[in-house]
Amino acid sequence: MNSLPDAKRILRSTVLAWRNELGEAERRIAAEGLLAALRRERPIGTPAVVSGFWPIREEIDIRPVMIDLFNEGCQLALPVVVGRGEPLLFRAWRPGDPLEAGVFGTLQPSARREVVEPEALLVPLLACDGEGWRLGYGGGFYDRTLALLRARRSVTAVGVGFDAQLVPEVPHGPGDQRLDWLLTDRRACAFV
């Protein structure tokens, strides 16, 4: 039997290999489907302070979703990695604002931008299961951040990915945080 870290590593490797094989046309169609799914089932009330993310490593392109939320009156933010073992920080961002290089290949708003606390988070994922358990890249940043935010007030965590990233089971441990919603190119569904 695999240990929890080994089980996560194996699933991570499998999904990354699959995602890397997607073509440009598939990615474009998926981004359009993501926006359509958001418009059918609104997992985020508007207006709200919403943290998105700038897609990296062949992640699904959520920029059209962020623009749609902005146009609906949401204040947007993007995450900033402060340091290893730390929760994320969120800086205000508007479509068209310049971005700076962050760690792990991320792009983030300038340090001059206002720090905000999101009411809803669009959370990148490598895999998610029907219970709302999410597999990320392994740094634990979103788990720490969600635990901190949820200790203060109610927040909505919306996992975002390709529909094929919905898997039968995601290995999880006591430090992992469940998602409230899943948004893919084919569906938006709440976890109960």
User: Look-up: residue for tokens 């929890």?
Assistant: 4
Q: How is 68-121 classified by DSSP, letter by letter?
A: HHHHTTPEEEEEE--STTPPPEEEEE-TT--EEE-GGG-EEE-TTSPB---SEE
Residue at 81: amino acid letter: V
**What's the CATH fold of domain 4-171?**
Rossmann fold (3.40.50)
What residue spans define the domains of the chain?
4-171
State residue 134's pLDDT score: 98
- What is the 3-class SS of 153-166, one letter each residue? CCCEEEEECCHHHE
Question: What residues form DSSP beta bridges with 89?
Answer: 80
- Percentage of the chain beyond pLDDT 90 is 95
Query: What's the mean per-residue pLDDT of the chain?
Result: 96
pLDDT over threshold 90, residue 192:
no
State residue 183's pLDDT score: 98
169: pLDDT confidence band, cut at 50, 70 and 90? Answer: very high
Mean pLDDT of 92-115: 95
State residue 16's pLDDT score: 97
Question: Which residue from 137, 138, 139, 157 is spatially nearest to 147, judged by alpha carbons?
Answer: 157
29: pLDDT confidence band, cut at 50, 70 and 90? Answer: very high
Q: Which helix (H) or strand (E) holds 182?
A: strand 181-183
pLDDT over threshold 90, residue 57:
no
Say what the pTM is.
0.96
pLDDT over threshold 80, residue 1:
no
Mean pLDDT of 4-31: 96
Q: At what angle do helices 24-40 and 63-71 cross, to 10 degrees?
A: 30
State residue 2's pLDDT score: 82
Mean pLDDT of 15-43: 96
C-alpha–C-alpha distance, residues 95 and 127, integer Å: 27
How remote is the C-alpha of 150 from its chain's centroid? 16
State residue 104's pLDDT score: 86
Q: How is 19-47 classified by DSSP, letter by letter?
A: HHT--HHHHHHHHHHHHHHHHHS-SS-SS
